[in-house]
Amino acid sequence: MADWQEITGGVTAPRGYKAAGITAGLKPSGLPDLALIISDVEAIAAGVFTTSHVKAACVDYCRQCLQNKQSAVAILCNAGQANAATGIQGVRDADESAELLAKELNISPELILLASTGVIGQRIKMDAMRSGIPKLVAALSETGSDAAAGAIITTDLVTKSIALETIISDRPVRIGGIAKGSGMIHPNMATMLAFVTCDAAVSPHLWQQMLSRAADKSFNSITVDGDTSTNDSLIALANGQSRTPAITEMGAEAEKLEAMLTAVCQHLAKAIARDGEGATCLIEVQVTGTHDDLAARQIAKTIAGSSLVKSAIFGRDPNWGRIAAAAGRAGVPFEQDNLQVKLGNFLLLENGQPLQFDRAAASAYLKQAAADYSSNIKTQRLDNPVIIAVNVGNGHGVGKAWGCDLSYDYVKINAEYTT
Amino acid sequence: MADWQEITGGVTAPRGYKAAGITAGLKPSGLPDLALIISDVEAIAAGVFTTSHVKAACVDYCRQCLQNKQSAVAILCNAGQANAATGIQGVRDADESAELLAKELNISPELILLASTGVIGQRIKMDAMRSGIPKLVAALSETGSDAAAGAIITTDLVTKSIALETIISDRPVRIGGIAKGSGMIHPNMATMLAFVTCDAAVSPHLWQQMLSRAADKSFNSITVDGDTSTNDSLIALANGQSRTPAITEMGAEAEKLEAMLTAVCQHLAKAIARDGEGATCLIEVQVTGTHDDLAARQIAKTIAGSSLVKSAIFGRDPNWGRIAAAAGRAGVPFEQDNLQVKLGNFLLLENGQPLQFDRAAASAYLKQAAADYSSNIKTQRLDNPVIIAVNVGNGHGVGKAWGCDLSYDYVKINAEYTT
């Protein structure tokens, strides 16, 4: 039983935050394309960014900011242009965006963090940015989370948002988050962005540690196509406006906060996997029996990322062989005679050998998950994923990963954006 | 200019080898399904096998053989059943197959190496194996390479075969090879098998080293879908029947032999990539400018394996952004301002920034490669691949990788094998 409850409000659910999302004219489509999240007071800030060596100006900018100062007031995000592979001019555009917003908010530019998503190789449309920033600040609201969530998406089918609340030191503490996932903007790639707000008081170092661990169990455990973007960013603020005592070291309260942070990140990550390009279902892979959790996650991610497994799920084929093979190549040693594979409630493989099972019923299980997905595709519901459960031995390690199936539409979306 | 010439004869081109391929009744289709390669004399043997922890009985069998004794006389390969995930009975079936053939050839079973490809979870049809072995031995011939090549394929569109000849110590030395690639057998996976014969005299340790290095530059540098099989095996024999002096350490002659071995492996590897499931073209990725060759190969493999790059090529889209992004996430540090990307003769990106280029002509280049591929699909021709050339700096490292595009047919082949 989780130690928290879901509440409404997204990133403005925690106290002391406002958000806004407007149409500034950055996207050719005319859809909302500029988002802002601000904290009323200077907040502790932590971030996890793309590991790619080809990265957007905003990624270098944020890394530098957080290296100098582990706090921030605002997160500014534009959609439409990724501002990656844009050289020194891209760096100047990022700097100017931060300066413009800082002036408007009357704060130091170093308290502003930046994110971009959109076409790689294109600079931010600075005219639209310049005229958009005052309007964006004017639109800030304590109920602005949905507007911000809508302005960061690209071709995502749905916005992604969550807020949870727990009790720490007898007072409510809240964490909210919004994200965007694997939408494709011609001529480029899926970018994962997530922004998290929290009203607990927590030390900068601990907050960064918590965020990094939460990212490993969530955003780093999802896969749509294995392609890491130039712009992937996860930024989390903690502003202390819950008026709870400062959490400065691990202990019961820190664990509670980290568990809730992890739950927020996992929700957003699953929402991204569920909305993967061409997906017809969400897949959750659960691995047990490894030496440690890291090894279990590694196997889970390999299975969730296997093109053969993903195609089989799209074909509604209870194909234990591909699952076993993906587990075997994950780089984690195990005795194949210990391998067990379950699909939903169907035990397909035990002691490393295939069992007789009701193949039609197992296929129907996959079809049902896809049917449920299809009827909920325009909602944020994450229930009824396809569950693949794999045990590899007697160890205590557990890990999960999430992905989606590989459909004709994935190829269509990614091939037919031809000039 | 290569130091060798192509000759006919496949694995029976080198002196002292015979081969056969017959229909033993292992495949339900009634197509040839049992292959044998033998050396007239005991040959030095080396092998490279799947790194998966879920592996077929034949893989464990061969590893054990080669650990005990670095020589062999025969390679027996069945198609139809992978004999993976078949437990202790699978091990017994492998042992019995070797014993039956040993009896027929009147040699020790430990001189026989085994390979299987086909449905995972299915034991070898031992009745067919028992009745097939005498017929197989009776069919052995010095011109039997094509028959053997035809009996190891599954749903490969073409057989894969090569033989090269060079001069060492004033005498001709030959290396031949056959392979099978990413054919799909319901309900399972692509398996890569390659068998290489050589008539040079070479020490066992050196031969294994040469083969491991050649495998890294060939079979370990191709990717169809990133899924490693339970049965992947590369086995190479060297029987000394060229009557050239024994090569026991690296030097000019060893280098010549290794270069030719690498060329044989690269030909077979490219043939496998070219025949990838649903492929409409062969892609060669050339990377330069890294600190060392390993790093270059790592970047090349990441680009060749990127689903986004593969879909773009299928869409005939000169999408430099996806190529740059894949290079960036390969785990090899480089300055993005040094990045250069070429597609065929089209320079798309320089100094980390996109250039103006003739997009229609670049797309036409991709279309032409696909048209050439299509008109040669039933041949073994490997010419006119799509060339992606990436430079990341001033280092001397170079590396190549090969793959194919990601098409609707890949998904179709892998999804629609539904029960």
Q: Does A411 touch chain B (CB under 8 A)?
A: yes
Where are the alpha helices (H) located in B140-251, listed in sequence order? 145-152, 204-216
Residues in chain B: 419
Q: What are chain A's domains?
A: 5-274 (3.60.70.12), 282-415 (3.10.20.340)
Residue with tokens 């036409």: B364
Helix/strand/coil for B22: strand
Confidence of residue B419 (pLDDT cuts 50, 70, 90): very low
- CA B108, CA B106: separation in Å to the nearest integer? 7
**Which residues in chain A have their CB less than 8 angstroms from residue B330's CB?**
53
**Which residues in chain A have their CB less than 8 angstroms from residue B50's CB?**
329
Tell me what pLDDT residue A412 has. Answer: 77
- CA A219, CA A55: separation in Å to the nearest integer? 18
**Which residues in chain A have their CB less than 8 angstroms from residue B316's CB?**
418
pLDDT for A281 beyond 60: yes
Q: Which of residues 243 through 302 in chain B touch A, CB cutoff 8 A? A: none
The CA distances from residue A107 to A98, A101, A387, B246, B281, in Å, are 10, 9, 48, 78, 55
Residue to test with chain A: of B50, B307, B404, most A Cβ within 10 A: B307
Q: How far from each other are the two terminal CA atoms of chain A, in whole angstroms?
A: 51
Please check whether residue B57 is in contact with residue B120, taking contact to mean a CB–CB distance below 8 angstroms. Answer: no
**Which residues in chain A have their CB less than 8 angstroms from residue B416's CB?**
315
pLDDT for A411 beyond 90: no
- CA A271, CA A276: separation in Å to the nearest integer? 9
Q: Does A86 touch chain B (CB under 8 A)?
A: yes
Please check whether residue A322 is in contact with residue B189, taking contact to mean a CB–CB distance below 8 angstroms. Answer: yes
Enter the tokens of residue B188: 């399972």
Q: Does B341 touch chain A (CB under 8 A)?
A: no
Tell me what pLDDT residue B229 has. Answer: 80
Tell me what pLDDT residue B380 has. Answer: 73
What's the whole-number average pLDDT of chain A?
A: 92
**Which residues in chain A have their CB less than 8 angstroms from residue B359's CB?**
419
Q: Does B338 touch chain A (CB under 8 A)?
A: no
In A305-361, at which residue ranges do the beta strands (DSSP E only) sit?
340-343, 346-350, 353-354
Helix/strand/coil for A88: helix
How many Cα atoms are found within 13 Å in the side-chain-facing hemisphere of A404? 27
pLDDT for A190 beyond 80: no
Sign of CA pseudo-dihedral A62, B395, B353, B370: negative
The size of the A-B interface in CB pairs under 8 A is 225
Minimum CA–CA partner of A54 in chain B: B328
Subunit contact B308:A349, Cβ cutoff 8 A = no
pLDDT for A418 beyond 60: no
B350-362: pLDDT as tens digits: 999 999 999 999 9
Identify which has the larger pLDDT, A402 or A190. Answer: A402
Tell me what pLDDT residue A121 has. Answer: 85
Subunit contact A325:B86, Cβ cutoff 8 A = no
Confidence of residue B305 (pLDDT cuts 50, 70, 90): confident
Q: Does B207 touch chain A (CB under 8 A)?
A: no
Q: State mean pLDDT over B371-382.
A: 81
Residue B119 has what DSSP assignment? Answer: E
Pick the range with the lowest mean pLDDT from A118-127, B80-89, B213-222, B274-283. B274-283
Instruction: Using the CB atoms, write b or e for A339-372: b if 16+ within 10 Å.
Output: bbbbbbebebbeebbbeebeeeebbebbeebbeb
Where are the alpha helices (H) located in B175-221, listed in sequence order? 204-216
Q: State mean pLDDT over B150-169.
A: 93
pTM recorded for the entire structure: 0.86
Q: State mean pLDDT over A38-59.
A: 94
Enter the tokens of residue B248: 């026991």
Confidence of residue A184 (pLDDT cuts 50, 70, 90): very low
Tell me what pLDDT residue B190 has. Answer: 54
pLDDT for B91 beyond 50: yes
Subunit contact A352:B54, Cβ cutoff 8 A = yes
Pick the range with the lowest mean pLDDT from A222-236, A295-309, B10-24. A222-236
Please check whether residue B68 is in contact with residue B254, taking contact to mean a CB–CB distance below 8 angstroms. Answer: no
Q: Does A54 touch chain B (CB under 8 A)?
A: yes
Please check whether residue B46 is in contact with residue B70, taking contact to mean a CB–CB distance below 8 angstroms. Answer: yes
Which of these is catalytic: A191, A223, A230, A262?
A191
Tell me what pLDDT residue A4 has. Answer: 95
Tell me what pLDDT residue B389 has. Answer: 98
